[in-house]
Amino acid sequence: MPSWIGAVILPLAGLLLSRPAGADVKARSCGEVRQAYGAKGFSLADIPYQEIAGEHLRICPQEYTCCTTEMEDKLSQQSKLEFENLVEETSHFVRSTFVSRHKKFDEFFRELLENAEKSLNDMFVRTYGMLYMQNSEVFQDLFTELKRYYTGGNVNLEDMLNDFWARLLERMFQLINPQYHFSEDYLECVSKYTDQLKPFGDVPRKLKIQVTRAFIAARTFVQGLTVGREVANRVSKVSPTPGCIRALMKMLYCPYCRGLPSVRPCSNYCLNVMKGCLANQADLDTEWNLFIDAMLLVAERLEGPFNIESVMDPIDVKISEAIMNMQENSLQVSAKVFQGCGQPKPAPALRSARSAPENFNTRFRPYNPEERPTTAAGTSLDRLVTDIKEKLKLSKKVWSALPYTICKDGSMTAGAASEEECWNGHSKARYLPEIMNDGLTNQINNPEVDVDITRPDTFIRQQIMALRVMTNKLKNAYNGNDVNFQDTSDESSGSGSGSGCMDDVCPTEFEFITTEAPAVDPDRREVDSSAARLSHSLLSGCLVCIVLALQRLCR
């Protein structure tokens, strides 16, 4: 046989063998592909009417095909776009959870602070009148600093609260001793006796424990919601590698090129492609789960001993109680201060006063339950925390589950019932390779995606670090410590703002928080008790001193 005959017959035989069984030698129509391609919004000018030889294809099998080079390029870009949209849509739940809950918590905490400040102002104006208004900046500064701390300001809560009580002692000391003149140096000496004399009773110590732990937990929890929101938003915007794009094109649109536009990928085939494309996202899962666990722990604190609502709601009554303690012990406090700081100089002659302002003799009237400010943001901390806990639990393992969630979508794959009638990357048949495990290192033998396991995604690693830092802050907040004020050489040392005690170390302090920190109670027993004490105090022998103080301040 002449050599040229063999040169013609062998390629012809190869072409015939490459066609589907039972097919005619005549090229098949691309009508079905043209319809599907046009439905994607592409121009039909790119697509042939009948199959052509596929030597030009770079991704799909180089057999008879309905795809031109232009079609393969456009479909490759289309597969990239659809993949990015799929990941963003699939992670929508976790992103929306953090966005909406952060907004709700932030609204709640800000309104809670506003309500507490308004409540204190209203109560003290009615109770102390001009005395309070002339010294109101001491209390305004307290709330300003609390707000600044909550919004991320560099505020040491313990130092700030100590300063508040020291300033209040200075003002009160002058009011109960109007017959003397006190220099700045003398008042500084007075403030040094705050801890020794305990002029305000045990209220400052107890309130400090409550406020620091509650605010640390609240601020850290909201910061955690912010970090979760940002990480979820960033990770959901993927940038597929060239190897991933090739695998996506082969899975999603090579059926078009083979004249099988209605055949969907096999489920296991889809899983291997997605596990290869989302290998770095899966590596986020371990740190993400630790972060969610830490958020849940702080949430439990917010429901219990660190409940900021039960701290801020009665703060006006607590401070009023401290002021009453000071009034009742004014003689003893003054005597000890005079002994330690020296006898002050007499004040210039006071203008005589025949009567105190009328409103000062009015009996203290506490809020009735229906008069107190309404719950912040139309909800309660307990309801907010219960809701967020449920959502947080659902978001665990979200990143390693992405491939399964995407491939389970009925519009993506053929499903388990069609394992023999699905696209396996080469033809319409069962997919045989095993499914890869999760994570980057497990993709070394991925049969579908070329993954460089030696080069982890830098962007994902940054998100892992952000989660790690936030998890550490949450753990500190759970223990009552403010990480911002700790010795960075030993973050677990327990130094800094907050008591640094666990339940088994400081049971008395936790006992106070859980038993004495009043929850929202319609009976308002503690308010009524303080009201009775205040009424008694205002009608006691201290009235003369305060009248004199009013004269001095108002002249």
> Can you spell out the DSSP letters for 268-291?
HHHHHHHHHHTHHHHHTHHHHHHH
Nearest to 308 by CA among 46, 106, 164: 106
DSSP structural state of residue 47: S
- pLDDT-derived band at 417 (thresholds 50, 70, 90) equals low
pLDDT at site 247: 96
pLDDT at 515 over 80: no
Average pLDDT score over residue span 158-175: 92
Q: Which residues contact 397 (CB under 8 A, 6 or more apart)?
A: 285, 289
Q: Give residue-wise pLDDT tens across range 106-145.
A: 999 999 999 999 999 999 999 888 889 999 999 999 999 9
Neighbours of 4 (CB within 10 A): 8
pLDDT at site 524: 37
What percent of the chain stands above pLDDT 70?
A: 75
Q: Which residues contact 413 (CB under 8 A, 6 or more apart)?
A: 264, 265, 266, 267, 269, 270, 407, 422
- How distant, in Å, are the alpha carbons of 127, 192, 482, 542 from that of 162? 24, 11, 16, 26
Average pLDDT score over residue span 18-22: 43
pLDDT at site 26: 59
Q: Which two tokens stand for residue 229?
A: 């929101």
Angle at 376 between CA 373 and CA 381, to 5 degrees: 125
**Lowest-pLDDT range of 176-185, 409-418, 533-542:** 533-542
What percent of the chain stands above pLDDT 90?
A: 55
Mean pLDDT of the chain: 79
pLDDT at site 36: 93
pLDDT at 339 over 80: yes
What is the reported pTM? 0.75
Q: Which helix (H) or strand (E) holds 150?
A: helix 136-150
pLDDT at site 300: 93
Dist CA 380 CA 433 (whole Å): 53
Average pLDDT score over residue span 475-488: 70
Dist CA 352 CA 64 (whole Å): 112
pLDDT at site 344: 87
